[in-house]
Chains A and B, each alone.
Chain A
């Protein structure tokens, strides 16, 4: 029966139908819903791993054991998992293994705009690229067939607009698929003597995949009326091209983005007067065509920055785009994302900003501590970089940064890759102060469980990693817990730990205010007669507080009664409700 399905849910459906029975992933926008969706199928074991490298290695282990496996991640997560990626390319698989990676052109929710297609070529692993939900199902299933046929892991590349668009699909039935594990040291032990023999196998495999790509139905040519131009494209760029051009020009739509066919592209190029490559982000198909000696137009017309749209494609191809509608004359203020009302991170960042402390930040909701008016963060690079960065910053200034520099990292991010940085802090004895903002959930990606929450992906209770014990075991002697809703307690702890002559960890602990089990207090009350319009309460950037007619005003629909603002008011104008 036809139904609407989100691209990511469609990937999950395809994995399910292909008999996938082991999934290990780390959440990351826009990839998260693949794993959330597959966890709902009882036939499939699914878990959140602490990071992408662990997830990929676990999925490899499951493939080795004979079960079709999957690991999913966002584009930057593939950087974390790059180490196993390059070597499982050599070992190949036992049962099929698929690696889902979702790019974020336009950086809706990411720190960079890298193009994952380069990994396919660099690691010599085939990459499929669906353009809608129906293809997401079909390509996920095809990926397993290819994985077992060619003895290789297969990359399934998504992007924000395919992952987060619903389109019409027709789900099928599940087919079970299990293999025996047979010990095979020369294939699975990648020490030099064996790896030297495996590398030529990989090169031969790529040649075989190129042959496959020449005739594969997923690399199709849709003919057009006007052969003065032919377009080669894939993924969402294909959708924009078809939206604009319909069947005007011949279009080669590539479903296998690496390796690319040679003869098929040459034949296509010969059938048209000029070839235009329409691809988001980097020159990838274009570079391949140039390597083949085919003259094409690509990045000389199209940008390598941001995502495309139909109007952009129309403009660049010289086609007609609709005129933009009317605007109102006034400047429309931006509406950037903000920390929610009642967010436990707010009190902590207020305290750090107030004390003018240098903050090495990290990836999560608390990255928003960088936004005005808190503006409390100095750098954000990647998962875990706060802890290692604070170590380097503190060491480099040889004591001058002591007492002024902290790292701020979330519970899930700490488990992902903060812990190795903390080992370095302990081992190499820097005087860094590490603040773990423990909101008892992975927040930004939409409330996923993690090793510190005591619950697993399926929603069952499980082992809860104790952060205090973990930090002490690593070798940090000073470990303490504060409640970030209590500003005085938080400030005292930060000052004391910054003054301490050794490394310390402060765990700022309060569950995310959006968690269903978190009970909110009644909204804060304003005594307008006492309010002197000093705007102290505005310094914390709470969306529930605004000024109206010179007096503080609380939005009762947003306020959770966290009480942070009441601690800032010198005139007793803000009061927690009885």
Chain B
């Protein structure tokens, strides 16, 4: 199988590391070669962060380059727009519609572009935008956006629901398991 590429992008502190952990656990049980590349350190302080997940028969590079991503999963709209060059022509963007102002916007040095989802669509990008934050709150915590997004992404893959649930069980603490399972299902059915 050719290498599949998934990018998880967002704002430092939004929980992208748990999303990539979940994907890693799932893919491992399927016997793939896998590389997951994360960002630690300074960017985690509210900066733009990206995690690369690659799987296939044999994966060499730990990162995904421009024009290579099969999926970009974004926690935030501006971050989705920042990385679209990384999508393959037939790639798909799955994004939360939440907007978080970066510091240049907060202090008035830049503007948050309007109607980004529509603009990305008219630029020819396959955009699947939805309100993951509200669903996470419905599940019981705004912090579950990461699992809601994974639930929504899961619709694009042939892995069974049991396989996903098994990976969730291995990735989250027991006391948050029910919350996360609910968040996953809300995302999957959205």
Q: CA of A398 to CA of B124 in the docked complex: distance in angstroms?
A: 64
Interface size grouping (class) on chain A: 35 or more
* Residue B110 CB within 8 A of the other chain: yes
Q: CA of A165 to CA of B111 in the docked complex: distance in angstroms?
A: 34
Q: Is the CB of A2 within 8 A of B63?
A: no
Taken residue by residue from 46 to 83, chain B's Cβ proximity to chain A (1 for < 8 Å, 0 otherwise) reads as: 11100000000001111101111100000000110110
Which residue of the partner chain A has the closest CB to B120? A328
Write out the residue numbers on chain B whose beta carbons fall within 8 Å of the beta carbon of A538.
Answer: 106-108
Given contacts A4-B36, A311-B66, A445-B41, contact A330 B61 (CB under 8 A): no
Nearest CB of chain A from residue B116's CB, rounded to whole Å: 7
* Cβ-neighbour of B105 out of A236, A322, A330, A333 (below 8 A): A333
Instruction: Compute the total of residue contacts between A and B using a CB distance below 8 Å.
Output: 202
* Cβ-neighbour of B42 out of A162, A164, A236, A337 (below 8 A): A337
Nearest CB of chain B from residue A371's CB, rounded to whole Å: 7
Given contacts A310-B61, A323-B67, contact A166 B36 (CB under 8 A): yes
Write out the residue numbers on chain B whose beta carbons fall within 8 Å of the beta carbon of A32.
Answer: 40
Q: Is the CB of B61 within 8 A of A240?
A: yes
Taken residue by residue from 134 to 166, chain A's Cβ proximity to chain B (1 for < 8 Å, 0 otherwise) reads as: 000000000000000000000000000110111
Q: Is the CB of B88 within 8 A of A325?
A: yes
* Residue B123 CB within 8 A of the other chain: yes
Write out the residue numbers on chain A whose beta carbons fall within 8 Å of the beta carbon of B108.
Answer: 535, 538, 547
Q: CA of A326 to CA of B72 in the docked complex: distance in angstroms?
A: 13
* Residue A334 CB within 8 A of the other chain: yes
* Residue A87 CB within 8 A of the other chain: no
Given contacts A325-B125, A327-B123, contact A372 B107 (CB under 8 A): yes
* Cβ-neighbour of A330 out of B24, B43, B119 (below 8 A): B119
Q: Is the CB of A325 within 8 A of B34?
A: no
Given contacts A29-B41, A109-B40, A165-B37, contact A328 B123 (CB under 8 A): yes
Q: Is the CB of B82 within 8 A of A339?
A: no
Q: Is the interface of A mostly helix, strand, loop or mixed?
A: loop
Which residue of the partner chain B has the closest CB to A539? B107
Q: CA of A503 to CA of B108 in the docked complex: distance in angstroms?
A: 39
Q: CA of A334 to CA of B112 in the docked complex: distance in angstroms?
A: 10
Taken residue by residue from 141 to 177, chain B's Cβ proximity to chain A (1 for < 8 Å, 0 otherwise) reads as: 0100000000000000000000000000000000000
Q: CA of A334 to CA of B106 in the docked complex: distance in angstroms?
A: 12
Q: CA of A372 to CA of B107 in the docked complex: distance in angstroms?
A: 8
Which residue of the partner chain B has the closest CB to A326? B123
Write out the residue numbers on chain B whose beta carbons fall within 8 Å of the beta carbon of A325.
Answer: 66-67, 69, 84-89, 91, 125
Nearest CB of chain A from residue B81's CB, rounded to whole Å: 5
* Residue A108 CB within 8 A of the other chain: yes
Given contacts A30-B40, A166-B34, A333-B112, contact A326 B106 (CB under 8 A): no
Q: Is the CB of A333 within 8 A of B111?
A: yes
Q: Is the CB of B84 within 8 A of A164?
A: no
* Residue A543 CB within 8 A of the other chain: yes
Write out the residue numbers on chain A whose beta carbons fall within 8 Å of the beta carbon of B128.
Answer: none
Q: Is the CB of B113 within 8 A of A3?
A: no
* Residue B138 CB within 8 A of the other chain: no
* Residue B4 CB within 8 A of the other chain: no
Q: Is the CB of A328 within 8 A of B119?
A: yes
Q: Which of B13, B62, B125 has the most CB of A within 10 A?
A: B62
Those of B8-30 within 8 Å (CB) of chain A: 11-13, 24-25, 28
27 contacting pairs across A/B (C-beta < 8 A): A2-B28, A4-B25, A108-B42, A166-B36, A167-B34, A240-B61, A242-B60, A309-B63, A311-B66, A322-B88, A325-B67, A326-B85, A327-B85, A330-B81, A332-B81, A333-B102, A334-B48, A335-B46, A335-B103, A335-B104, A336-B102, A338-B103, A339-B45, A340-B45, A538-B107, A545-B106, A557-B142
Interface residues of chain A, those whose CB is within 8 Å of chain B, are 2-4, 6, 29-30, 32-33, 108-109, 132, 161-162, 164-168, 236, 239-240, 242-243, 309-311, 321-340, 365, 368, 371-373, 444-446, 535, 538, 541, 543, 545-547, 557
Taking A336-B102, A446-B44 as known contacts, 11 extra A-B pairs with beta carbons closer than 8 A to each other, sorted by chain A number, are A29-B42, A166-B34, A166-B37, A242-B60, A322-B65, A327-B84, A330-B119, A334-B102, A338-B45, A339-B45, A372-B103
